[in-house]
């Protein structure tokens, strides 16, 4: 049941984001990826283990960095981060013990991550959102026009 709810919730959030325009902003899916990754830190706190929190924080930091790079450079990195987090959900219990993780969470989060990644890939392919950030104005390359009335 957690698999069905994960897919349904990811699609509901994504379709709502499209309908109201949240996903027109490049930051929407990177923020979703960061929030998703942070839940394992919450579960470590709920499980009462500082050691687990430190281990989870290393992984969370990796997903945060990839999400930031995806925001700054190319949103396809965020698609990859969401997919990678889905794989991480699948193998998490084999990598580290986190007593705070609910039994249903890995299946739910796996399907949420994959569905969200699929939806983001779909909107990128449809060119609804630019995958790459536009080149920003660099002040040092643009000099002000000379003042015509100025006397040298």
Q: What's the pTM value of the predicted model, to 2 decimals?
A: 0.82
Looking at residue 140, what is its pLDDT? 58
Looking at residue 150, what is its pLDDT? 52
Tokens of 107: 């299946």
Question: Which neighbouring-strand residues pair with 132?
Answer: 74
Closest among 128, 113, 135 to 66, alpha carbons compared: 113
**Mean pLDDT value of segment 32-55:** 96
Backbone angles phi, psi at 139, to 5 degrees: -55, -35
- Are 37 and 89 in contact by the 8 Å Cβ rule? The answer is no
Looking at residue 132, what is its pLDDT? 74
Q: What percent of the chain has pLDDT over 70?
A: 84
b/e per residue, 136-152, with b = 16+ CB within 10 A?
Answer: eeeeeeeeeeeeeeeee
Closest among 84, 82, 88, 90 to 120, alpha carbons compared: 82
Which of the residue ranges 29-43, 52-66, 82-96, 129-143 would you say has the lowest mean pLDDT? 129-143
pLDDT digits (tens, 9 = 90+) for 59-112: 999 999 999 999 999 999 999 999 999 999 999 999 999 999 999 999 999 999
């Amino acid at each position: 049941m957690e698999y069905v709810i994960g897919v349904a919730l990811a699609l509901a959030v994504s379709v709502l984001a499209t309908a109201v325009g949240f996903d027109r902003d490049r930051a929407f899916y990177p923020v979703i990826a960061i929030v998703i990754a942070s839940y394992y830190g919450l579960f470590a706190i709920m499980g009462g283990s500082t050691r687990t929190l430190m281990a989870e924080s290393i992984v969370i930091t990796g997903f945060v960095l990839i999400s930031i790079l995806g925001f700054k450079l190319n949103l396809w990195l965020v698609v990859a981060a969401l997919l990678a987090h889905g794989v991480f959900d699948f193998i998490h219990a084999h990598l580290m013990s986190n007593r705070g993780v609910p039994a249903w969470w890995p299946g739910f989060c796996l399907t949420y991550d994959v569905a969200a990644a699929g939806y983001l890939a779909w909107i990128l392919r449809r060119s609804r959102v630019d995958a790459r950030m536009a080149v920003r104005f660099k002040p040092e390359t643009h000099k002000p026009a000379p003042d015509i009335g100025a006397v040298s």
